[in-house]
Amino acid sequence: MVPVLTSKKASELPVNEVTCVLQADLQYGLTHSEVTRRRAYHGWNEFDINEEEPLWRKYISQFKDPLIMLLLASAVISVLMHQFDDAISITVAIIIVVTVAFVQEYRSEKSLEELGKLVPPECHCVREGHLERMLARELVPGDTVCLSVGERVPADLRLFEVCYTLTPVQKL
């Protein structure tokens, strides 16, 4: 039977119970045959990316900005006061600002996607008593991962031993 443990449950249990449920050895790690068995059951350590949000919806979401809403309200008030020149000017300004924001956001998303493809996340993991460097997508439940300063956390992890911790708030 392949061990299954949710992140919430793992965070509530003591360390020895987590290792018992996951049938893991913190010093020796998992065997390669056990890794293969768990991967067949759990799959790769990666997110399934569902269909991307349509571009038109991303464009429309730019109008949710409070400043844009305020400008839209002032354009409507200008129309109600028969100040059509002001209403047109405000509307054109809104369209320009929203379009520029949309294009910038779209480009930054694409850049991040490409960057993620260039540098796949790696980690250090104990397997069969040896510390191995591998892609984070190769991790399975029960693996012992060693983190060092500056490394990204490769998966949902339960910390068993911490020597020094510094977490940048902006990354949370």
pLDDT tens sequence across 104-126: 999 998 888 888 777 778 889 99
What's the pLDDT at 155? 82
d(CA 119, CA 98) in angstroms, rounded, equals 32
Q: What does each C-alpha distance from 134 to 113, 143, 153 come to in angstroms?
A: 21, 12, 13
Placement of tokens 């893991």 in the chain: 24
Given pLDDT bands bounded at 50, 70 and 90, which one contains residue 67? very high
Residue 46 binned pLDDT confidence (cut-offs 50, 70, 90): confident
Q: Is the pLDDT higher at 12 or at 164?
A: 12
Provide the mean pLDDT of the chain: 86
Predicted confidence band of residue 1 (pLDDT cuts 50, 70, 90) = low
Q: Which uninterrupted H or E stretch holds 56?
A: helix 55-61
List the structure tokens of 6: 């949710």
> HSE-up of 137 (CA within 13 Å, CB side)?
10
- Whole-prediction pTM: 0.59
- Bigger pLDDT: 99 or 160? 99
At 75 the three-state DSSP class reads: helix
Whole-number Å distance between alpha carbons of 65 and 76: 17
For residue 124, what is the enclosing H or E element? strand 122-127
- Per-residue pLDDT at 59 exceeds 90: yes
pLDDT at 72: 95
